[in-house]
């Protein structure tokens, strides 16, 4: 203000050069109103291009694109600097309409093809407005390009999740347009593309190139390199890349590391890095989203007390309550997963603005804690539901054993919101799982038809998650031929797809077909998991194929290194008892007992042991072996496993052997312990 007063005294307040300098001073001091008054005081004819550029740049840097755009449209002879400034303002605003209008102005004024800086700013503007098609079109029409031009389009593709197009552009840049140089920003964007694709092979090649290009000491490049390895699941290489980053960039490096550990579900490492670095405050200020990764670690490790401390620290720092969705939703998730729904609801209720993600987090939290009624009430209150809201609620019903309610809600989605909200692959997969639970073939076919219509409308193929759900639905509904047809037509299969097909054959007692699919799966280098082997062992058990079952049980342990669970042992014991080899089954189950006594507990919860012992007791009932049956029953009663069924099975064993006195004693003992058999339930789907 003192300088301004001095200029007024000297009569220089109308001089364009001194006025431009004063205007830039006001802009740097964040006084846009004063800068604009100063600009307006200058007669229109006396405003030179630097003065126009200064005021337009001031508005652009302050994220006010509309005033910058209006001033640019009034500028008599726009120069490249003013043009680039207003394009950056439109890019920051991410307004496609404003971007198109500005592009038209550049064309009408002959600015676009005459200057590489202006054309590059338009490429960047369209990229940041998520209009990659227009961005590439402007890029292709440019007579001259520099490295910034290439980087603008490359980063646009990488940040939009179009990693394949980004890598193709990088290849074109290096192998076709060989005169174009590469800088750290080029490498960083290319590594981001590799990370998004999970393409470690391409990432390693880019790693080799950056070392050869002498960019191995650039901290931005090293952080992108570490992020790529983290996203590809190579923790060791990621940590090695972080070792080369300098101390001056340690806050950003630590953020990358924490997010990488959280992405790979190494939650203990996340908290250890926080504890060892003492950089929580700095990281939270630089990138508040890192707090989300830390809270995710707390929720998965059920560290409620630590989560509360972080919440309190965010309040103390003044970060909480600033409408940071990246903080508030993870807080709700953390409290919910730690079974503190009251605190989760308190966070939700304290929000001045509630976004869809807040509502979805609270609904999911209620579902996680089995509070379906509260979840549905909140769902009904939600002002604007999105596809995640509908999918979460449908999934809640299916997972809680109410698939009919889930299907009703799915029907409501398409009856009420068909024009506004379309189901995604997870919505369809969840609805198909509901049909599988009910063996409801007709609704399943209707959902399949809707999947095909949606795919045709959007011009894409069904993702593997939907196709796998279709295989499960058709197989569980008894239509194995159609399940096999869907499976054979799958372009991409994963372990879950193969397992679903094997389980379908196993459930229907078609052991040979199940084994055939498993052999084909292994021949194509897919690695079976625990569930795959449970399905195969169950099939062998039902068909009495003892030798094949024991072979695959050995293969699972010795070749694939899978530690058997109670379900695996239950299948093997069931195979043995069906074959009448009760002594071998007793020997196996006693070996498991010895393993438990020596602290080598098999994978499985305590109550799942009952399935193993129950299988042996069932075999004793089948073959009338009172000696082993009595020992098994005694063991189960001691541990209070399947109590009612144990008494009944033991009574049946004794009855088959004609030991009616023992039958009477067992039934009297059952009555004295007030053991009541729960009635069985079954259900069918009609219509």
Residue 601 has pLDDT above 60, yes or no: no
For the stretch 445-454, pLDDT in tens is 998 988 888 8
The number of distinct structural domains making up the chain is 2
Question: Which residue bears the tokens 């023992």?
Answer: 662
Continuous H helices in 63-217: 65-74, 80-93, 96-108, 116-128, 132-141, 147-159, 163-175, 184-197, 200-212
pLDDT of residue 463: 80
State the DSSP H helix or E strand holding residue 598, giving kind and residue range, or none if neither.
none
pLDDT of residue 605: 46
15-24, 52-61, 249-258, 464-473: least confidently modelled range: 15-24
For the stretch 141-182, pLDDT in tens is 888 888 888 888 999 999 888 889 999 999 888 888 767 788
Q: Which of 384, 400, 420 is the endpoint of a domain?
A: 384
Q: Give the integer Cα–Cα distance in Å for 635 and 616.
A: 12
Continuous H helices in 369-440: 372-381, 387-399, 403-416, 425-438
For the stretch 51-71, pLDDT in tens is 777 777 777 777 777 777 777
pLDDT of residue 281: 85
Residue 128 has pLDDT above 50, yes or no: yes
For the stretch 198-238, pLDDT in tens is 899 999 999 998 888 888 888 889 999 999 999 998 999 99
pLDDT band at 5 (very low <50, low <70, confident <90, very high): very low
346 in Cβ contact with 336 (< 8 Å): no
For the stretch 570-584, pLDDT in tens is 888 888 888 878 778
Mean pLDDT of all residues in 424-449: 89
For the stretch 584-599, pLDDT in tens is 877 777 766 665 554 4
Q: What share of the chain has pLDDT > 70, as a percent?
A: 76
Mean pLDDT of all residues in 461-473: 85
Domain assignment of residue 324, given as a range: 246-384
Helix/strand/coil (H, E, C) string of 481-523?
HHHHHHHHCCCCCCHHHHHHHHHHHHHCCCHHHHHHHHHHHHH
Percent composition of the chain: helix, strand, coil (DSSP 3-state, to 5): 75, 0, 25
In whole numbers, what is the pLDDT of the chain averaged over residues? 80
Phi then psi dihedrals of residue 603, to 5 deg = -65, 120
pLDDT of residue 568: 86
pLDDT of residue 593: 64
Mean pLDDT of all residues in 176-203: 87
Phi then psi dihedrals of residue 565, to 5 deg = -105, 180
Residue 288, domain member (yes or no):
yes
Q: Which of the pair, 616 or 365, is modelled with greater confidence?
A: 365
139-148, 298-307, 411-420: least confidently modelled range: 411-420
Residue 342 has pLDDT above 80, yes or no: yes
Tokens (6 digits) for 487: 């499976």
Residue 501 has pLDDT above 70, yes or no: yes
Cα dihedral value 144, 150, 151, 155, nearest 10: 140
Q: What is the DSSP string of 1-53?
A: -HHHHHHHHHT-TT-HHHHHHHHHHHHHTT-HHHHHHHHHHS-GGG--HHHHH
State the DSSP H helix or E strand holding residue 468, giving kind and residue range, or none if neither.
helix 464-476
Residue 420, domain member (yes or no):
no
Q: Which of the pair, 514 or 95, is modelled with greater confidence?
A: 514
pLDDT of residue 91: 81
Residue 533, domain member (yes or no):
no
Q: Give the integer Cα–Cα distance in Å for 269 and 280.
A: 15
Residue 482, domain member (yes or no):
no
Q: Which of 356, 384, 412 is the endpoint of a domain?
A: 384
Residue 592, domain member (yes or no):
yes
For the stretch 630-654, pLDDT in tens is 666 666 665 554 456 666 666 666 6
pLDDT of residue 642: 47
Tokens (6 digits) for 418: 């068909």
Q: Give the integer Cα–Cα distance in Å for 578 and 620.
A: 10
For the stretch 304-319, pLDDT in tens is 999 999 899 888 888 7
Question: Which residue bears the tokens 């009555």?
Answer: 671
Tokens (6 digits) for 687: 């219509």
Mean pLDDT of all residues in 383-404: 90
pLDDT of residue 178: 65
Sign of the four-CA dihedral 132, 138, 139, 145: negative
Residue 534, domain member (yes or no):
no
pLDDT of residue 625: 67
Mean pLDDT of all residues in 275-286: 81
Residue 315, domain member (yes or no):
yes
pLDDT of residue 14: 54
Q: Which of 332, 363, 384 is the endpoint of a domain?
A: 384
Residue 645, domain member (yes or no):
yes
Q: Give the integer Cα–Cα distance in Å for 295 and 107.
A: 49
pLDDT of residue 105: 79
């Amino acid at each position: 203000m003192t300088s301004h007063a001095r200029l007024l005294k000297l009569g220089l307040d109308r001089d364009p050069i001194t006025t431009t300098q004063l205007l830039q001073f006001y802009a740097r001091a964040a006084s846009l109103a004063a800068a604009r008054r100063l600009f307006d005081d200058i007669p229109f004819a006396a405003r030179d291009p630097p003065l126009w550029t200064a005021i337009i740049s001031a508005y652009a840097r302050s994220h006010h694109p509309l005033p910058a755009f209006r001033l640019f449209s009034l500028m008599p002879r726009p120069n490249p600097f003013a043009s680039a400034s207003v394009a950056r303002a439109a890019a920051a605003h991410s307004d496609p309409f404003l971007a198109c209008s500005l592009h038209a102005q550049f064309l009408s004024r002959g600015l676009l093809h005459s200057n590489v800086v202006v054309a590059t700013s338009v490429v960047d503007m369209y990229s940041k407005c998520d209009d990659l098609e227009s961005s590439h079109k402007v890029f292709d029409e440019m007579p001259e390009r520099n490295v910034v031009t290439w980087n603008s389009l490359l980063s646009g593709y990488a940040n939009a999740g179009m990693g394949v197009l980004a890598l193709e552009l990088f290849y074109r840049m290096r192998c076709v347009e060989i005169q174009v140089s590469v800088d750290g920003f080029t490498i960083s964007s290319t590594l981001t593309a590799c990370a998004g694709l999970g393409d470690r092979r391409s990432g390693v090649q880019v790693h080799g190139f950056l070392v050869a290009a002498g960019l191995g000491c650039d901290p931005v490049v090293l952080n992108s390199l570490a992020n790529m390895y983290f996203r590809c699941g190579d923790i060791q290489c990621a940590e090695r890349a972080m070792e080369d980053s300098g101390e001056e960039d340690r806050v950003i490096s630590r953020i990358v590391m924490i997010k990488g550990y959280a992405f790979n579900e190494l939650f203990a490492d996340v908290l250890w890095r926080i504890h060892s670095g003492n950089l929580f405050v700095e990281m939270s200020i630089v990138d508040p989203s890192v707090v989300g990764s830390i809270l995710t670690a707390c929720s998965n490790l059920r560290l409620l007390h630590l989560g509360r401390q972080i919440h309190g620290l965010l309040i103390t720092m003044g970060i909480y309550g600033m409408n940071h969705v990246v903080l508030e939703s993870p807080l709700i998730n953390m409290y919910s997963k730690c079974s503190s729904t009251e605190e989760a609801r308190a966070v939700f209720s304290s929000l001045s603005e509630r976004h869809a993600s807040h509502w979805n987090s609270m609904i999911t939290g209620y579902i996680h804690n089995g509070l379906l009624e509260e979840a549905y009430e909140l769902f009904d209150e939600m002002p604007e539901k999105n596809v995640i809201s509908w999918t979460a609620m449908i999934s809640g019903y299916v997972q809680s054993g109410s698939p009919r309610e889930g299907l009703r809600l799915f029907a409501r989605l398409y009856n009420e919101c068909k024009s506004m909200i379309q189901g995604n692959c997870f919505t369809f997969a969840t609805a198909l799982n509901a049909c599988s639970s009910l063996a409801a073939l007709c609704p399943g076919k209707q959902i399949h038809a809707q999947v095909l219509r949606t795919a045709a409308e959007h011009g894409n193929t069904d993702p593997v998650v939907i196709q796998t759900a279709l295989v499960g639905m058709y197989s569980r509904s008894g239509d194995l031929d159609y399940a096999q047809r869907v499976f054979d037509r799958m372009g991409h299969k994963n372990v879950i797809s193969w397992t679903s097909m094997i389980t379908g054959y196993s459930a229907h007692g078609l052991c040979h077909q199940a084994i055939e699919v498993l052999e084909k799966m292994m021949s194509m280098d897919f690695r079976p998991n625990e569930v795959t082997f449970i399905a195969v062992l169950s099939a062998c058990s039902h068909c009495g194929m003892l030798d094949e079952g024991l072979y695959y049980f050995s293969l699972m342990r010795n070749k694939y290194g899978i530690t058997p669970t109670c379900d695996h042992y239950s299948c093997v014991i069931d195979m043995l008892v069906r074959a009448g080899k009760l002594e071998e089954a007793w020997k196996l189950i006693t070996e498991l007992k010895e393993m438990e006594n020596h602290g080598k507990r098999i994978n499985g919860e305590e109550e799942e042991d009952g399935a193993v012992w129950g299988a042996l007791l069932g075999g004793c009932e089948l073959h009338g072996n009172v000696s082993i049956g009595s020992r098994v029953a005694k063991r189960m009663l001691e541990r209070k496993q399947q109590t009612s069924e144990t008494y009944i099975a033991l009574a049946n064993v004794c009855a088959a052997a004609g030991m009616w006195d023992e039958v009477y004693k067992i039934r009297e003992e059952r009555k004295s312990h007030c053991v009541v058999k729960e009635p069985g339930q079954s259900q069918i789907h009609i219509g």
